[in-house]
Structure 1
C-alpha cells in the first residue's frame, strides 16, 4: 500500500464502486479526495455525480466535457490506421482509457495531488491502460488501485461496506437496470458478465441498446456520403461536422439500420480469455468508408505496409501503450500516408451491412480509367510489356522447378 498520500484524484462516476472507493481512500490513507468525471459521450447525465460528490464532502470536483478531444485526438488517429484488435474488436474501451488517464494526471498537477486512483479491477485490461498511460505522462505519479488492495471483491461486500458507513448508494438493482457490466462512450458500448460468461450462450435480444436487430431494420436501405480530409471524416452528406458530432450522427444512422454488433472472445492483457459483446455502429461505418477512400488514393505498397503494421498498432492500443514511443512512431508514419486520403465515399446501409457503392477523389485519386479500362486504351498500356514482367518473376520458379525435375 502506497503511503504519504495527502491528496488523491479519483476517476469518479458516483456509482457503487467509486462511491465506496471515495470513502475507502479517506479511511485507509487519511487523505483528501478530488473527484474527476469525464464526459466522453457515454450518454448519461453527469450532474448526479457532482451532487453525490458534494454530498460526500468533496471540495474539488471536476466534470469535464472531453467528447471533441476524444474523437479528434484519439478515435480519428486510430481509425487512420484501420485498427482492429484480433481482427474483430474496434477498441472502443481501449482508446478511451489514455484520455481519462491524461486528464487524471493533469488534474493531479493542477490540484497538487500526490496520487491518482481508479476503480479498475485486478483481472482486467483497464488497470494496465490507466497506469501505463499515467506513468508515461508523469513518471513519479503514485497510483492507487483499491481492487488490488482491499477484500471487497463482490457486490455484496461493497453494499455491506456502504451500508455500514452510511454511504448513499443503490442497495439493489433498479427495475430495468442492465445485469451486465457495461462501458459506453462515443465510439461504442460494451457488455460483459451474466450469461455472456458462457461463450456458447447467445446474448439476450433485449441486451442491445444502440442498434436495432438487423432482421428488424428498415426494408429500405439508406445511402450516406462521407467526405474525408487527410483521412478524417469532415462532412456527412455534404454537411460539415466536428469529429464528435460526426461520430454521434454515424452512431444514430448506423444503429437505425442494425449496423455494428459484435460478439467475440478476446485475449486480455493479463493473460485470460474474455467474452464480450459490442455495439460500434459509427465505427463500423467509418472503418469501411476509410478503407474505401484509401483504396482509391493510397499507393499500393504504402497501403500494404499499413496493413502489415496495423495488428501491431492495434495491440499497442489494446495493451495500454498509447503514449509509448513506438505508437507515436507508427502514428507519424500512418499520418504521413493520410495526406492524400481526401475525397468522398458513398455507402449503402441495409439490415446490418455496410456496402461501399462509390468513391471519388478529384485531387488524389490514383485510379486511371485510361489504363484500367477493358476497352481500347489508345496505347496507354502496352500489353506486350507483361511478357517480360512475367518471365522475370518466373525466373526463380523455373530454376527451382528444373532442379526438382518439375
Structure 2
C-alpha cells in the first residue's frame, strides 16, 4: 500500500475519482514531478461501498502512497441540496446543478484533509476550459492558502487521447471506448461529457449514459414532504438522503432525467454537457407542484427571483458569499406550509405529476372552486371589482386617445393650410 518515503518534503494530495484524468495525474506526479502522491475521493452520495473499494484499489495499483475516502453526503445535503430543493433550482430551466453543487463540498473536504496530512501540494484533474478548475482553486485558496495547487491536465493542455497514450507508456492499459466519456456521479445526478458535447448538434448516444432503460411499463410513486424537505417515499418515512437514493434507483431504470445542458461557464465561454438526474428532476418538479398549492402568489414570485440567484452563485463558485446565508434563511422560512404528498407516474424517458394531498392546500378553501362556483362573493361584487381593476387602464387609454386626437387635428389643420 506504500512506497519508500523520501526525506524531502514532497507530499501531494490528489483529488482522485478513478477516471482517466486523475489516473493520468497519479502517474504524472510520481514520474515527472517525483512527488509522494496521496489520493482521496470525496463521496457526495454517488458511490456504493463496492465502487469506493474498487476506486481505492485502482489508486493503490497506480502508485498512490495512501488512499482515503472522505464522506460528506449528509453534510452536502444539509448545506446545499436542501436549498436547491427549496428553491426548485434548475440552471437555465434545465440543469439541477448535479456537479456544480457538489464541487464546493468536495473541495472543502479535500482542503481540510490536505491541511491535516500536512501536504505541500494539492492537485486536481480539471482542464483549463471548464468550471471545475475555478471551483477547486477558489475553495483551496480560501481554506488552505499555504498549499500550492497543481493542475497537470490544465497546465499541459492535454487531450484525453494523449492521456491514454501516456498511461499506456507506463504500463496502464485502458479501453479508449470506455475512457472517452467523462462521467461524474453524485447524490444529485451524474454528468456525462464526451466528443458529442463538444459540438452544438450531436446528441449523446444511448450507451454514453451510465443508467440504461430497464423498465418499459408504468408505475406510480408517492413522495412525501415536510416543511419542504423530502421525507418519505411510497408511504415509508426515510431520511432525505435515503429517499433521494431510493427514488434514483427506482426512476433511473426508466431512463428518466436525461437532458443536455447548455450554458455560460464561469470563464465566459459557452459549455454543453449531458446529464442524467432522475431523482433530482422528479423531486424538484414534485416540490414545485406542492408549493403551487400551498404558497401565496407573492411567495412564489420572490422565491423564484432569489432561487435563480442562489443557483447562479452555486454554479459560479460563490458559495461563501455572505448573501447566500441570507437567501437560505428566506428559502427555509418559506417552507413552513410545504407539507404533503405528491403522486408521480413514471414511464420510459418521462414522468407526470398526477396531483397532491396537503392539509395546507389552498384550493381546499370555502371561498370558491376555480371555474365552477363562487362561495364568498356575488356577481355584483365581481362587476364592481372588475370596474375598479380597469380604472388605471381606462385612464391611460383616455389620455392616449386625447393626445392622438390632438395630434391628428394638428396634422389635418397643417394639411389644409398647405393645400391653400
Tell me which interval the TM-score lies in, with the shorter structure as reference length: 0.7 to 0.9
Deviations 1:150-190 (A, max 9, x none): x36134443454455x4x532443xx626322222222222
Change (3 A) 1:50 1:180: closer
CA distance in 2, matches of 1:338, 1:68: 20
Q: C-alpha distance in 2, partners of 1:376/1:63?
A: 60
What is the aligned counterpart of 1:122 among 122, 128, 131?
A: 128
What TM-score comes out, normalization by structure 2 length?
Answer: 0.83
Structure with higher RCO (Cα < 8 A, 6+ apart)? 1
Quote the residue 2:389 is aligned against: 393
Report the Cα distance in structure 2 between the residues aligned to 1:404 and 1:5, rounded to whole angstroms.
80
Q: Deviations over 1:306-330 (max 9, x none)?
A: 1122222221122122232222221
Residue in 2 aligned with 1:78?
84
Q: How far apart are the structure 1 equivalents of 2:339 and 2:297?
A: 16
Going from structure 1 to structure 2, the CA distance change for 1:157 and 1:210 (only over 3 Å counts) comes to closer
Contact map agreement 2:38 2:64 (CA 8 A) in 1: yes
Asked if structure 1 preserves the Cα contact closer than 8 Å seen for 2:112 and 2:143, the reply is: no
Q: Report the secondary structure of 2:206's partner residue.
A: coil
Query: In structure 1, which of residues 20, 39, 45 is the aligned counterpart of residue 43 of structure 2?
Result: 39
Aligned ranges for residues 6-405 of structure 1 at < 5 Å?
6-26=10-30, 31-40=35-44, 41-42=46-47, 45-55=51-61, 58-138=64-144, 140-149=146-155, 151=156, 153-162=158-167, 166=170, 168-173=171-176, 177=178, 179-212=180-213, 218-219=216-217, 221-362=218-359, 364-373=360-369, 380-405=376-401
Offset, 1:22: 2.9
Distance in 2, matches of 1:319 and 1:5, equals 34
RMSD: 2.8
Measured at CA, do residues 222 and 48 of structure 1 come closer, stay the same or move farther in structure 2, by a change above 3 Å?
closer
Report the structure, 1 or 2, having the larger helix content.
2
* Structure-2 separation of matches of 1:156 and 1:375: 65
Instruction: Say if 2:223 and 2:234, in contact at 8 Å, map to a contact too.
Output: yes
Specify the structure having the higher radius of gyration (Cα).
2
User: 1:357 offset after TM fit, Å?
Assistant: 1.9
- Aligned mates of 2:108, 2:272 — CA distance in 1: 28
Residues in 2 aligned to 1:14 and 1:253: alpha-carbon distance in whole angstroms: 26
Aligned pairs, number = 392
Partner of 2:413: none
- Structure 1 window deviating more from structure 2 (86-95 vs 126-135): it is 126-135
Do the aligned partners of 1:296 and 1:360 also contact (CA within 8 Å) in 2? no
Contact 2:26 / 2:64 at 8 angstroms: preserved in 1? no
1:211–1:254 CA contact under 8 A, matched in 2: no
Gaps of 5+ in 1: none
In structure 2, the gaps of 5 or more residues are 1-7, 403-420
Cα distance change, pair 116–390 in 1 and its aligned pair in 2 (3 A)? farther
What is the CA distance between 1:246 and its match in structure 2?
Answer: 1.2
In structure 2, what is the Cα distance between the partners aligned to 1:22 and 1:223?
A: 46
SS at 2:361 equivalent: coil
Verify the 8 A CA contact 2:86 2:332 in the aligned structure 1.
Answer: yes
Question: For 1:101-151, what per-residue CA distance to the aligned partner results, in whole angstroms no more than 9, with x for missing partners?
Answer: 0110120232223442211111011111222233344455543222332x3
TM-score by length of 1: 0.86
Pick closer, same or farther for the CA change 1:217–1:58 going to 2, 3 Å.
closer
Q: Is the contact made by 2:231 and 2:243 (CA closer than 8 Å) also made in structure 1?
A: yes
Question: Hey, what does 2:408 align to over in structure 1?
Answer: none
Change in 2 beyond 3 A, CA 1:159/1:196: closer
Give the CA deviation at 1:23: 4.2
Give yes or no for contact 1:84–1:310 (8 Å, CA) kept in 2: no
Tell me, what secondary structure is at the counterpart of 1:96? helix
Equivalent residue of 1:103, what SS?
helix
Partner SS state of residue 316, structure 1? helix
